[in-house]
Homo-oligomer: A and B are copies of this chain.
Amino acid sequence: MYVGIDIGGTNIKAVLTNREGEIYSAKSTGTGKTIKEIDDTIVDIISEFMSAFSDRGTVQAVGIGAAGSIDGNKGIIITSPNIQAWKNYPLARNLERRLGIRVFLENDATVAVMGEWWQGHGRKFRNWIMLTLGTGIGGGAVIDNKLYTGQSGSSMEFGHISIDYRGKKCKCGSIGCLEQYASASALARNAQSLLRKYPASALNLRPKGEPVTSKLVYEAAMKKDELAVHAIEEISFYLGVGIANLVNIFNPEAVILGGGLSKAHRMIFPIVKKVVAERALPGLKDNVKYLAVKTQDKIPALGAAKVAIDSLGL
């Protein structure tokens, strides 16, 4: 058996699976705020899995996906937007010591793509790309039915494609990076900047001191709040510019959206498609399918388990 864990900003999702991706059990619990809380939560989940399913075998390895800058080879979280305390934190080694099981770490976009490839929409296509819209924008490409990883094991940083060489500064040091325009954080910032222009917006009625989050914007947009709808339309335009670039590069069979903000795909895709129609090349843009991952699903956690299965297989 294998455990896959997806550590999000809000929840830790875990699955217990076999080599074929059959799920024996799944759990979701609050992420917690300190390093110790997270470590303890993970250890507890795995221990519970092991005792409840001891008749099926033993856990061979654990795969973990986490947002941020990850050194997969060393199992270290270099920095993470969700958990500030994680700085060069050797998560994999610490868990290995406590559990006595091999632990493999990858970034959240990679496990999300791996999950889609193994058990999600990606199974239907040989050549496709995925963008995960969260605090940043992650990416992945499956080429000829294989996850492309570049020479360093890391690549497809679609959030850091510059769509404006003299545009917004990015914390990566570059200028005009897509994630400054079309991530969940960009949506929140964009909505914040529109508050005065839309005095009637429900977002102006939020409790004092509470920040505008992408979740609040999404919920308001679902209720047709004008500001929120406008803010999502704007980031969808920029996302379309980025996806048009990727369509001209990959001519993919499908573009799959993941990450928290992909919940808004019914608002996002019509604008993305319009921009791609205007900006990508004939022949390359003609047969592209646009899909969103099923939200709240177990696929990233399954992807993390698959990372563990494949890593152990080497």
**Does A33 reach chain B (CB closer than 8 Å)?**
no
**Which chain B residues lie closer than 8 Å to A89 at the CB level?**
none
B165 A165 Cβ-Cβ under 8 A: no
Q: A160-B248, A166-B164 are in contact. Are A279 and B146 (CB under 8 A)?
A: no
- Please encode chain A, from 126 to 164, with 1 for each CB lying within 8 Å of some chain B CB and 0 for all others: 010000000000010001101011111011111011111
Q: Are B280 and A174 in contact (CB under 8 A)?
A: yes
Contact A175 B250 (CB under 8 A): no
Determine whether A207 belongs to the interface, using a CB cutoff of 8 Å to chain B: no
Q: Are A174 and B244 in contact (CB under 8 A)?
A: yes
Query: Does the CB pair A152–B279 fall under 8 Å?
Result: no
Q: Are B165 and A248 in contact (CB under 8 A)?
A: no
Chain A: interface residue total (CB-CB under 8 A) = 46
Among A35-43, A96-104, A261-269, A283-291, the one that faces the other chain is: A283-291
In the complex, whether A2 has a CB less than 8 A from a CB of chain B is: no
Q: Is A241 an interface residue (CB 8 A)?
A: yes
Residues of B close to A174: CB separation below 8 A: 244, 278-280
Given A150-B284, A166-B164, A287-B152: A173 and B278 interface contact (C-beta under 8 Å): yes
Interface residues of chain A, those whose CB is within 8 Å of chain B, are 127, 139, 143-144, 146, 148-152, 154-158, 160-167, 172-176, 238, 241, 244-245, 248-253, 278-281, 283-284, 286-287
In the bound complex, do residue A286 and residue B253 qualify as a contact, i.e. CB atoms below 8 Å apart?
no
* Bound complex: CA A286 to CA B154 (Å): 12
- CB A301 to nearest CB in B, in angstroms, measures 25
> Closest approach, in angstroms, between the C-beta of A153 and any C-beta of chain B?
9
A-B contact pairs, 28 of them (CB 8 A): A139-B249, A143-B148, A150-B250, A151-B251, A152-B283, A152-B284, A154-B284, A155-B249, A155-B284, A157-B281, A157-B284, A158-B249, A161-B245, A161-B249, A162-B241, A162-B244, A162-B245, A163-B163, A164-B164, A164-B165, A164-B166, A164-B176, A165-B241, A173-B279, A174-B244, A174-B280, A175-B279, A249-B249
When the two chains form the complex, which single residue of B143, B163, B251, B283 contacts A143, counting CB atoms closer than 8 Å?
B143
Q: A162-B241, A164-B166, A244-B174 are in contact. Are A150 and B281 (CB under 8 A)?
A: no
